[in-house]
Amino acid sequence: MVGLGMVFRLICWIGLTLLACPDSMSGQSIGDSGEFTVGWRDINFRDTHYNRSRVYGRIYYPAVTAGRSTQADSSSGPYPVVGFMHGNPGRARDHDEICTHVASHGFLVASIDSSNAPSSMECQTFLHWAEAQSADPAHWLNNMARSGDWAVFGHSAGGMTLAPLTDLEPRIRTIIGVAPGGTGGGGASQIADFDGTSVWLGGAVDPLFPYARGWYDLCLSSERNLYVEIPDTGHYGCVDLDEGPDQDPMSRVEQHRIHRRLITSVLRAEMMNQDSDYEWIVGSFVNANEVWMQEHSFVRPVLWGGLALNSTRMEMGLLSQEAAEYVCVGSRSLGNSSTPFGNSGLDLSQGREIQAGVFHSSGEANWPQFFSSSLSGVTVYAQAACYFWGQAPTGALTNVLTVQIP
């Protein structure tokens, strides 16, 4: 492997022995409710986007007090916007738990409420409506919807509808299909062109729509593509049912907990620029008792770590692609250093390599990182490059991660 100096032009710094990223949840599980109180309102409005009839939905939002139609809390807004599409049959109220949970982590959730399967046009219209009301100083949603990229997750038929939705609305950059419906029709070609982040959650004993892995295989252009299979789980793992029609071996309470953890981890990572939250899905320490299996291909790689952190060590890891090489670097200073893969956010004159290797078939790597107590209270920064060697290196940098060592 070509030396690190050719990749990051590093000057070794003897004093640095740790790279870490923050425990962003301060010991709290991401499956627990977030810091925000949540309100909700049922919405209906005339569809002027497509000149159709009316659009019905339910909005979940950070609120001053919990409950129906309570005052929105814009003090920490505007918030990232997330759409949700239920299955068929289904209604928005069937997913109150997961949507309330997502909103409690600082999101505005726009959930379609259709008497049939939600359409991609309904979801697109609802997202644009929420943004328009947020810009209105007189509206109760004022300053609640952040501009920029959107995320959408959907269950069953709603998961299947993600494909035409990505073809319809370019601002949707993250999708999560939960037990999605089949891959027939034009969905295969539509999803093959989607170049954002795609995540597919499937139950291992789903008797209705065992298609999550099929959707994962169709995502040929996604810069981040993830498939998670949950054992002993059927079709209704994210639905507000005490007992599902399919009588899964795993308890409904446990299925709900797992779906909250997986969905919220992805949304925080992608919509809040907190890549370290992927550790909640792939970290071996924090997931020692978890049972799901995952596959992925990340052209835009992820550097994670910091949840399993104590005074002497932490776990770190990378998500990338099979057969790529990687190098992970730490520094005490931020900067703007040129590399073959773009500008690094680190001051590489004060950095050193802390880990390097080759990804095998899994496309991931993780390791325990030990550090000296002399670094207590010090803020350090980290970044990794994942690359292939040909006539010239091709690859990508991770986001910079930051931690204050306890």
Per-residue pLDDT at 52: 78
**What's the confidence (pLDDT) of residue 194?**
98
CB 119 within 8 A of CB 45: no
End position of a domain, from candidates 273, 292, 322: 273
Do 192 and 310 fall into the same domain? no
Residue 27, pLDDT score: 56
List, in order, residues 6 or more apart from 51 with CB less than 8 Å away.
none
74 with 148, same domain?
Answer: yes
Q: Which of 35, 111, 43 is nearest to 76 (CA)?
A: 35
- Number of domains comprising the chain: 2
pLDDT band at 390 (very low <50, low <70, confident <90, very high): confident
Query: For 42-100, what is each residue's pLDDT tens digit?
Result: 999 999 888 878 999 999 999 999 999 999 999 999 999 999 999 998 999 999 999 99
For the chain, the average pLDDT equals 90
Q: Residue 10: which pLDDT band, with cuts at 50, 70 and 90?
A: very low
Examine the domain organization and report whether 139 and 252 are in the same domain.
yes
d(CA 43, CA 212): 31
> Does residue 236 surpass a pLDDT of 50?
yes
- Please report whether residue 28 resides in a domain: no
d(CA 9, CA 16) in angstroms, rounded, equals 17
Cα atoms in the Cβ-side hemisphere of radius 13 Å centred on 175: 35
Average pLDDT over residues 198-208: 96
Reply yes or no on whether the pLDDT at 25 is more than 80: no
Specify whether 116 is located in the same domain as 209.
yes
- Residue-wise DSSP of 369-388: EE--GGGTT-EEEEEEEEEE
Structure tokens, 176: 């999560």
Check which CATH number belongs to the domain holding 338 and give it: 2.60.40
Structure confidence at residue 308 (pLDDT) = 79
Q: Is the pLDDT of residue 134 over 80?
A: yes
Predicted structure pTM score: 0.92
365 secondary structure, DSSP code: E
For residue 392, the 8-state DSSP code is: S
Q: Which residues contact 70 (CB under 8 A, 6 or more apart)?
A: 39, 63, 64
Q: When comparing pLDDT for 243 and 238, which is higher?
A: 238
Residue 215 has pLDDT above 60, yes or no: yes
Is the pLDDT score of 268 beyond 90?
yes
The per-residue pLDDT for 15 is: 32
For residue 361, pLDDT beyond 90: no
Same domain, 100 and 187: yes
The letter for the amino acid at 1 is: M
Host domain of residue 219: 38-273
Q: 380, 403 in Cβ contact below 8 A?
A: yes
Look at the chain and count its residues. 406
Averaged pLDDT, 367-375: 83
Regarding whether 158 and 66 lie in a shared domain, the answer is yes
- Same domain as 323, residue 174: no
Residue 84 inside a domain? The answer is yes
| Phi, psi dihedral angles at 183 (to 5 degrees) | -95, 15
Q: Token pair for residue 212?
A: 């999550």
Question: Three-class SS of residue 58?
Answer: strand
The predicted model gives 206-218 an average pLDDT of: 96
Q: Which pLDDT band, with edges at 50, 70 and 90, does 138 fall under?
A: very high
**Per-residue pLDDT at 312 exceeds 90:** no
Residues 107 and 238 in one domain: yes
Q: Is residue 280 part of a domain?
A: no
pLDDT of residue 244: 61
* 265 and 126 housed in the same domain: yes
Burial class (CB in 10 A: 0-12, 13-18, 19+), 51: exposed
18 and 48 within one domain: no
Q: Are 12 and 330 in contact (CB under 8 A)?
A: no
Within its chain, how far is the Cα of 172 from the centroid? 13
**For position 56, which CATH number holds?**
3.40.50.1820
pLDDT, tens digit (0-9, with 9 covering 90-100), for 115-124? 888 999 999 9
On whether both 337 and 263 belong to a single domain, the answer is no
pLDDT at 110: 98
Decide if 297 is inside a domain.
no
Write down the pLDDT at residue 117.
87
Question: Which carries the bigger pLDDT value, residue 221 or residue 373?
Answer: 221
State the pLDDT at residue 246.
67
% of the chain surpassing 70 pLDDT = 92
- Is residue 378 over pLDDT 60? yes
pLDDT digits (tens, 9 = 90+) for 318-354: 999 998 999 999 998 999 999 999 999 999 888 889 9
Q: Sign of the C-alpha dihedral, residues 396, 319, 86, 144?
A: negative
Whether 12 is covered by a domain: the verdict is yes
Once rounded to an integer, what is the mean pLDDT over residues 251-262?
A: 96
